[in-house]
Structure 1
Amino acid sequence: MPFEPAHLALAQQQWREVLGDAGVRIDPASLERFGQDTMCSPAYARVVIAPRSTEQVSACMEIARRYGVAVHPISTGHNWGYGSASTTDAHCVLMDLSGMDRILGFDEELSVVTLEPGVTQGDLARYLQEHNLPWLTPVTGAGPTCSVLGNALERGFGITPHTDHFQAVLGIEAVLADGTLYRSPMALGVTAPCFKWGVGPYLDGLFSQSGLGVVTQMSIALVRKPEVIQPFYFWVDEEQGLEAALAGIKRMLDLAPGQIGGINLMNRTRLLTMASEDAQVVGLSEAQQRAAADALGLPAWMGVGSIYCQKAQHAPLKRMISHELEAFASKSLFKTRGQLTAARRLLGHLPGGWSRRWQRTLDKMLQGIDLMEGQPSEVALPLAYTAGAKPLPDAPLNPARDNCGLIWYAPILPLKIQEVADFVRAMERRCRQQQMPCPVTLTSLSSRAIDCTVPLLFDRADTQASNRAHECYRQLFAHGKVQGVLPYRVPTRFMHLLTDSQGPAWQLGARIKTALDPDNLLSPGRYCAANPTPDQAMTASVVSI
C-alpha cells in the first residue's frame, strides 16, 4: 500500500483518541531526540506514538493497518551502534514502548520474571535489590538505561551464567501487524512459564530479530546469585599468544560448563581505549597507538573471566583455571571485590601518574565486577567517546545524544582456534586500510562459539571519517560473508547486506512476513527485504572485496 500523507493525518487523529495528545508526538524536540544516532541511519521518524498497554498497542496497529501507515517499535532505543531509534523507512511512525515499564511479577520458586519492554537493566536490578531477591540481572555492557526485553529479542549476551539472553526467554506476548494477539502456548496459566519450547511449532523465535510482531511482555529465567562470584584476569604479552589463549579458554569452558561466565579477551587497541581515558585514540597512526600502549605497559591481549559456584566448589575450580592459565598467560590474578577496593584505597594515598593510572584500572575492574554480579554499569560506554565526543556533565552516558561515532561489527565464529586467530588478523588489516582503529573483544558464548566484536569508532561530525567507517563495515561484512561468517545482529543502516536471494531461510522468512503482514506495515526491511513477496527471492547487496 503506497504511503499517503492524508492517511497519516487521519491515523494521527485516531491515535490521539486512543493515546491522548501526550501519546502522539510531532514536536521538534521529541523528533530531534528520537533522531539522535551514532551513525548515518537510513531514516528517522516524523511521528512518534507512545502506547502504555498491550491493549493500546493493539488498537494502534489496527489504526495503522486501516490507513496503511508503517510502524517501527522500539523498547528504549538505546541500542547504540546498531541504529538507536532510527526507523527502517522514511515513512515509518516510531512506536515508543519505553512507557510500558512495569515488572508484572516474579516467581521465586521458578526464578522467572515477567516484564514489559520499557523495563531497563537498572530498573530490574533495583527491583531485585529493593525486594531482597538474590538473583542476577542479565546485564550487558550497554548500561543501566537499556531494555532487558529489547536486548533479549536482539539475542544479546553478557558474562553472567545465562550468557545467551534469548535462551533464557520462556514466554512472550506479542501484537501482530493486524492488531491480534499472540501468546506462547505454555504461558497462559496462572503461574509463570517454565518450559521454553512449549508444544507444537516453536513460534516465539519468530519475534526475535524480526518485524513480525510487537512484543509487549516477556518472561525470563534469572540465575540465583551463587555463594561465590570470583573474577580472574590474565595477560598475554605477545601477539602470537592468541592461539594458545583461545585453546586455553576453550578447555576451561569444556571442563567447567555453567560455572565460568563469558570470558572476554581484549586486544591491545581495546585496552588502549580503556586506559587512555580522555586521550583521543581515534586518529592515531598504528605506530602512535603502539607507542601509547607501550608507554602504559599494555599487553597484546588481556582476558577477564568469572567463576560462579558454591563455596565447596571454589578451590578446585580456581586450581583448574590457574593450571590452564599457566600454559599461555604471562601473568594471572584472582582478586575479590574487597581486595581490589582495599588496593584502590591504598593507591589513593600515593602521588604520581603511576598511582593515578592504577586507580583508574582498579575502578574499571570494580565496575567489571558489578557486571559479573548482575549490577548494570557504564564501564563499557566510554569506549564510544574515544573519537572526541564529550558526554554531558552529571548525566547518564548516551552515545547517540552526545554525537558519538560508533558502528558495531559483531560476527559469530566457531571456536576453532586457527580460524578465529586468522579472522581477527584479517579484520585488523582491513581496519588499517580504512585508517580505523581495530579494538577487538572476543567473548566466549560457549565452548563452541565466540563473538568477535569490533566497534568502528569515528568523529561523527567528520564526513570523511563517517564515510570511511561505513565503508569499513561493508568490507568487514563482505569479507566475513565470503567465509560463511555473519554478525549476530546488524545495524539498521546495513540490513540490506544481510539478505541473500539464494538463502532458503530468507525466502521462508519473506513468505512468513507476507502471510502475517501482507501490507508490510511493521518494521519494513527489518531482517527481511523491504518489499517481500512469497514468490520473489530477496535482493542481495553485492559488495566488492
Structure 2
Amino acid sequence: MPSSPLPTGVDAGSFSAALAAFRSALGESGVLDTDQDRRTYIDPYAFGDGLDHESSAILAPAEVAEVQEVVRIANRFGVALWPVSRGKNYGYGSAAPVRRGDVILDLSRMNRVLDVDVQQANCLLEPGVSFFDLFDHLWADNIPLWMSVPGNSWGSVVGNALDRGIGYTPLGDNCEAICGLEVVLPDGELVRTGMAATGQGVTWRNYKYGYGPGWDQMFMQSNLGIVTKAGLWLQPEPEMTAAVEIAFPNFDDAGWAIDILCDLRRRDIIQHNIVFGSPVRAASVLTQRAEWYTGEGALPEEAERAMMERFGLGWWNAKISFYGPEFLVEGSMRLLRDLFEARLGKPLDFKTWHKGQPYEGSARGVPSTVGLQSVNWFGGRGGHLSFAPVMPQDGARVLAYAKRVKDIYREVGQDYYATFTIGRRHINNVSLILYDRDSPASTGRADTLFRRLVTEAAREGFAEYRGHIDYMDTIAATYDFNDHALLKLNNKVKAALDPGNIIAPGRNGIGGRA
C-alpha cells in the first residue's frame, strides 16, 4: 500500500486543494497530514500494521462553526470524513475509519464542560470531554452529582453514549442519559433535537422528546450527522451506598444466579448494570498468561481454578451496589443476604459509605484505565476485541449458551473470557478476545473465533449491539428480517441526508464501503 492514501474517489490534485481549504478554515494546527500524524491515529489493537484502515489526514476543529465549514468543504471536494469524539474507542477500531483514506475529524479539542445544573442534575458537554475531565470538574467544584463510568475511561463521555456504551452505576445506560443534541448535518446545517430546538432551549436537558419525532436516536451509532453538544443527566449524590462482591464457585451457578440477579434488576432493586464475569476477567488485569500456563491451546481448567484460589474468585463473580436513603439501602442489603447467603453457605461482606465520608469508600463511579491492562495477557503488543450479543434474561438459556461458547473458545485454542452484563431487560454476553498483535497465529485465532461467535449467536437469534470496524458489515448482515429491511431503511435515510456519502461511510454497515 502507498505510504499516503487518498480519500476514495478523490485524485491527488483535488485532495491537495481540499487540504488547502481545510487549512484556511482551521489554521495550520488544525490539519495533520504527515506520516507520523497518520500513524498516530492507527488502531493500536489492529491485526498487523493497521494500514488497511489508515486515514489520509486528520482535521481538528475547535468550534462548531469550524465543524460546519469542514463539512461544507468536504462536500465541495467529495472528501469523506470519519468523526471521532476522542478516538479512544479501544477494541472497536479506536479512531481509525472503516475505509482506508477517509479523513478523520477529531473533535477532542472541543472539550468544554459548558454547564452543570446542580438542582436539575444534568450537564451540557462538548464531544471532547473525557470521563476524567467531567469527574475532575465535578470534584474540583465539590458538585454533589455523580456520573456513570465505563470500564475504560480514556474516552469521551458523549462518544461513549452515542455508541451505546455502558457504565456500572445508576444511569449507566449512557445513551439513555442523553437529553437533547446539537448536530451538524451532512450539508453543514446545524440542528438541535428535543427541547433544545426551542429558541432559548431552557428545558434542553429536562425533557428528551420535544414536539414531533424524537431524533436523538437517529444520531446514535449512525453516520447521519456530527454531534457537537449533548445534554446529559447525572445522578444526585445519595445518602448512602453499599457494595458487595459475590463469588459463585461453580460454572453451573450461572443459571440460578442470573435469574435472581435479573429479577432484582428488572424491579430496580439493583439500579445498575451488573457484571457477571469469569476468572480470566480478573486475572488478565492483574497478571500475565505465562504465570498460569505456557502450553499450547486454551487454558486448562486447573489454571482457571488456580486463579480462583489466588484471588478469592468464584467461577462467576458479580459486584452489586445499592444507592439511596439509608432505610432503602439497608433493606436491599437484607434482601440480598436472604437470597444468597444460604445458597453460598457464607455471609456477604458489604462495604458501606455515608454521605460526608471519603468518596474512596463509596460506590461512586471513578474514572480508571486499569482494565486496559488485560491487553498485556500475552506480553508484548497485545490487543482485544469483543463479541457481545444481546440475550434475553433467562438463566437456563444463558448457561446453555455459555457452555457452547466455552467449547468454541477451547476448539479455537483461545482462553475463555466471558462477562454477562445484566441490563434492565436484557443481557450482553461480552465475549472478550485477547490476542498478541505480533503473532499471526494469535490474530488468526481471534478472527476465527469472532466469526464463529457471530454464527453461533445468529443461530440462537442473538445479535451484536456494537461493532468493530473490521466486522461492521458482518454484524449488520445478521439483522436480516424481511431481506435486511432495516439496513435498506438506514441506507435510504443516509442517501436522503447525505447524498455525497460524506459522513463516515460504512459505519455500522450504513452507506457502503465502495
Shared fold per TM-score greater than 0.5: yes
Name the CA distance, whole Å, in 2 between partners of 1:207 and 1:247: 34
Note if 1:261 corresponds to 2:302: no
Quick one: distance in 2 between partners of 1:419 and 1:259? 22
Measured after TM superposition, the shift of residue 149 of structure 1 is 0.3
1:58-77 aligned at under 5 Å gives the runs 58-77=68-87
Contact 1:78 1:85 in 2 (8 A): yes
1:179 to 168, 185, 188: 188
Counterpart selection for 1:504 from 481, 485, 492: 485
State how far apart, in whole Å, the 2-side matches of 1:527 and 1:149 are: 18
* Percent of matched pairs sharing the same residue: 27
Alignment partners' CA distance in 1, 2:284 and 2:409? 16
Q: Secondary structure at the match of 1:442?
A: strand
The correspondence of residues 49-64 of structure 1 with structure 2, limited to 5 A, is: 49-64=59-74
Q: CA deviation at 1:332?
A: 4.9
- 1:125 pairs, out of 135, 144, 153, with 135
Greater shift, 152-161 or 523-532, is seen at: 523-532
> Please, which of 342, 347, 371 is the counterpart of residue 380 of structure 1?
371
Contact 1:252 1:321 in 2 (8 A): no
What's the secondary structure of 2:182's corresponding residue?
A: strand
Partner of 2:406: 428
Amino acid at match of 1:86: A
Residues in 1 aligned to 2:345 and 2:79: alpha-carbon distance in whole angstroms: 59
Deviations 1:84-112 (A, max 9, x none): 11111112001111110001111222211
Q: Secondary structure at the match of 1:200?
A: coil
TM-score (norm 1): 0.85
TM-score (norm 2): 0.90
Q: Does 1:241 align with 2:256?
A: no
Q: In 2, Cα distance between the equivalents of 1:235 and 1:467?
A: 33
Alpha-carbon separation, structure 1, partners of 2:475 and 2:18: 32
Q: Give the 3 Å change call, closer, same or farther, for CA 258–323 of structure 1 in structure 2.
A: closer
Q: Distance in 2 between matches of 1:309 and 1:149?
A: 26
- Deviation digits for residues 373-401 of structure 1 (CA, Å, limit 9, x no counterpart): 02112232212221213xxxxxxxxxxxx
Alignment of 1:446-465 (within 5 A): 446=424, 448-465=425-442
Distance 1:336 1:105 in 2: 33
Aligned length: 489
Counterpart contact for 1:282–1:386, Cα < 8 Å: no
Which whole-Å CA distance do the structure 2 matches of 1:433 and 1:94 have between them?
39
Structure 2: distance between partners of 1:376 and 1:435: 33
Code of the aligned partner of 1:78: K
> Are 1:293 and 2:270 matched, yes or no?
no
Q: Kindly state the Cα deviation for residue 422 of structure 1 after the two structures are TM-superposed.
A: 1.5
Q: Is the 8 A contact 1:178 1:517 kept in 2?
A: yes
* C-alpha contact 1:281 1:386 (8 A) present in aligned 2: no
| Change beyond 3 A, Cα 1:223–1:234 | same
1:31 pairs, out of 29, 38, 48, with: 38
Contact map agreement 1:243 1:421 (CA 8 A) in 2: yes
Secondary structure at the aligned position of 1:186 is classed as: helix
CA positional deviation for 1:62: 0.3
Please tell me the root mean square deviation across aligned C-alpha atoms, in Å. 2.3
Shift of 1:486: 1.1
In structure 1, C-alpha distance between the alignment counterparts of 2:173 and 2:234, rounded to whole Å: 12
The residue that corresponds to 1:513 in the other structure is 494
Give the aligned residue type for 1:263.
Answer: I
1:236 touches 1:331 (CA, 8 Å); kept in 2? no
**Aligned counterpart for 2:419 among listed residues 423, 441, 446:** 441
Q: What amino acid is aligned across from residue 26 of structure 1 in structure 2?
A: D
Q: Is the 8 A contact 2:184 2:191 kept in 1?
A: yes
User: What CA deviation, in whole Å up to 9, does each residue of 1:355-385 have, x standing for no partner?
Assistant: xxxxxxxxxxx98x77x40211223221222
Distance in 2 between residues matched to 1:422 and 1:113, nearest whole Å: 43
Counterpart residue number, 2:5: none
Give how far 1:258 is off. 5.8
Structure-2 change in CA distance of 1:291 and 1:444 (3 Å): closer
Unmatched 5+ residue regions in structure 1?
340-365, 390-402, 534-545
**Structure 1 CA distance for aligned equivalents of residues 346 and 85 of structure 2:** 42
Say which of 199, 202, 207 aligns to 2:219. 207
User: Quick one: distance in 2 between partners of 1:280 and 1:78?
Assistant: 29
Describe the shift of the 1:432–1:332 C-alpha distance in structure 2 as closer, same or farther (beyond 3 A).
Answer: farther
The one-letter amino acid of 2:96's match is S
Q: Distance in 2 between matches of 1:254 and 1:193?
A: 26
